[in-house]
């Protein structure tokens, strides 16, 4: 049985989170390049060939940015952390730091179902780590300030769970139906907007 022993304020953990997400986003940029000394025709071809890289880059920036924002939201009312909170945060950071690898697979081998499955699995694992973090903190009010936290509500946990479910489901579907199943990720946009409005609407 895990015993929750408060282990100080979350400031240093949040600083580490900021650093890891910043490095992960920076690593995404390093793969964007165009060879030097190209003639005009080759230059245009190189820019056209760069489009999949730019698409994968934009997608992963949106994913990492969303999870960084959610991590800040989860911790906005936290005054102390314990060992399990640290462990879950480190698991999430390890997955976030890995995102540039499946991003490169998606950019270079996006037509391969395995690439989509690997990317989906990575995002699902990151979402699961954040969901577990929010759920554990929701059950430990003694680690929070004495006020209601948005991240501790069932609606917020449902919002987080939708990402886990959609990206997890995409893993086998990509292998069965092909890489075009990645367009199913767009279903999260209206769902997230709806849940976000419900979350911020006063009862």
pLDDT digits (tens, 9 = 90+) for 32-67: 888 888 888 999 998 898 898 999 999 999 999 999
**What digits encode the pLDDT tens for the residues 5-38?**
666 789 999 999 999 999 999 999 988 888 888 8
CA dist 107 and 56 (Å) reads: 5
* Phi and psi angles of residue 37, each rounded to the nearest 5 degrees, phi first: 55, 45
- In the block, residue with structure tokens 């030097």: 36
CA geometry: angle 84, 88, 89, nearest 5 deg: 115
Residue 67: which residues within 8 A CB-CB, separation 6 or more?
21, 92, 96, 126, 127, 130
Q: Is residue 132 scored above 60 in pLDDT?
A: yes
Residue 25 pLDDT: 94
Q: Does residue 168 or residue 154 have the better pLDDT?
A: 168
**What digits encode the pLDDT tens for the residues 163-193?**
999 999 999 999 999 999 988 888 888 888 8
Residue 1 pLDDT: 44
Residue percentage of the chain with pLDDT more than 90:
53
Q: Does residue 112 or residue 187 have the better pLDDT?
A: 112
Structure tokens at 161: 């769970």
pTM of the entire structure?
A: 0.88
Burial profile 70-104: b = 16 or more Cβ within 10 angstroms, e = fewer: bbeebbebbebbbebbbebbebbbebbeebbebbb
Residue 164: which residues within 8 A CB-CB, separation 6 or more?
124, 127, 128, 131
């Amino acid at each position: 049985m895990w015993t929750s022993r408060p282990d100080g304020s979350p400031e240093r953990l949040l600083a580490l989170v900021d650093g890891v997400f910043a490095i992960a986003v920076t690593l995404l940029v390093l793969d964007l390049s165009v060879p030097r000394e190209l003639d005009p025709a080759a230059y245009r071809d190189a820019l056209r060939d760069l489009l999949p890289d730019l698409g994968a880059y934009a997608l992963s920036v949106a994913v990492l940015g969303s999870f960084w924002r959610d991590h800040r939201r989860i911790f906005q009312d936290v005054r102390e952390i314990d060992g399990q909170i640290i462990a879950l945060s480190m698991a999430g950071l390890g997955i976030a730091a890995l995102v540039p690898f499946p991003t490169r697979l998606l950019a270079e081998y996006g037509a391969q179902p395995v690439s989509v499955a690997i990317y989906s699995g990575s995002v699902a694992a990151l979402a699961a780590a954040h969901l577990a973090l929010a759920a554990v903190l929701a059950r430990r009010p003694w680690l929070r300030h004495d006020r209601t936290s948005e991240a501790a509500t069932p609606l917020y946990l449902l919002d987080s769970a939708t990402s886990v479910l959609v990206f997890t489901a995409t893993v086998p579907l990509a292998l069965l139906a092909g890489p075009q199943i990645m367009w199913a990720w767009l279903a999260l946009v209206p769902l997230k907007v709806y849940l976000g409005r419900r979350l911020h609407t006063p009862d």
